[in-house]
Amino acid sequence: MADKCHQRVGAVLLIDDPKDIPQDLIAHGADVVYVVRDPKFAHYSTELYTNAFAELITEYRPNAILIGATNDGRDLGPRVAARERTGLCADCTILDVEEDGLVEWTRPAAGGNIMATILCKEDRPQMGTCRPKTFKAPEADPSHKGEVVEYTLKHQIEDRVEVLRRDPVVTEGEMAIDDAPFVCSGGRGMKAKENFALLQDLAHVLGGAVGGSRAAVDEGFIEHPRQVGQSGKTVTPKIYFACGISGSVQHKAGMSKSDTIVCINKDPDAPMFEISRYGIVGDALKVLPLLTQKIKEFKES
């Protein structure tokens, strides 16, 4: 995007560490890193982060800003956009740039049935959020040269919110789907919650995690934290198994960037086959035990 606009790639780092040097950001493509150091940045704060971002925008006037659509990013993005009196396109899945420098922000719309491309023609900066893992991170290039700008805020504010306690989230049991190398997902075609044990067996053999479509969550087959799709998680595993999942636009938005997609479905016309490298037309309840057994035998041989 920056090359098309003939501009530099900038990164903002709000950090409490007084010594950390952000060379990893430069190695991954940043031409300039704006570093603001303050002990208050040890944990995310809506007011403190918004204040710092707004001051950096005033000082350096960027053409466009892209923020990760994490829980914190979804809070920060709208606040910064409102402060700057500009628009914000949320949860983008495709980004491009027109010849005149306008960013084309593309995201699912109308319940995920269409893809809308949005332009911010008048106000600056152009702003959008993008889900983590929507785009693959570039390989680190240690030879890439960049500039580090140590910035001191001119306008300090006090956070009006006092955090009394922080309790770490302890996860037990199954592997999370976010970073799993293999994701075995089921849809309404799995027919019952008990049948998700077949997906768990396959995931266990592969060393992966179990996911599901929104339909599977709505049916009570699997919990929402394991939902893949527009209203769930975005995953990019080495192999994604779509079992009994028809392949709605909403679901594809959360897994289409997987390295390899394997579809198992009784319907030969299921849209999921269109983006799959491998497809099996058949009942997932019958195919999964056979597939799991073959993989076991292969690993043991």
Question: Which residues make up each annotated binding site for FAD?
Answer: 188, 213-214, 227-231, 244-251, 265
Tell me the C-alpha distance between 93 and 103, whole Å: 13
Q: Tell me the two tokens of residue 231.
A: 């209203």
89 close to 105: Cβ distance less than 8 angstroms = yes
Annotated binding site: 188, 213-214, 227-231, 244-251, 265
User: What are the angstrom distances between the C-alpha of 80 and each of 54, 55, 77, 153, 266?
Assistant: 6, 10, 5, 16, 48
- 229 SS3 class: coil
Q: Tell me the two tokens of residue 262.
A: 């394997």
Q: Tell me the two tokens of residue 2.
A: 């920056």
| Backbone CA torsion sign across 79, 58, 130, 149 | negative
Q: What angle do CA 238, 69, 140 make, to 5 degrees?
A: 50
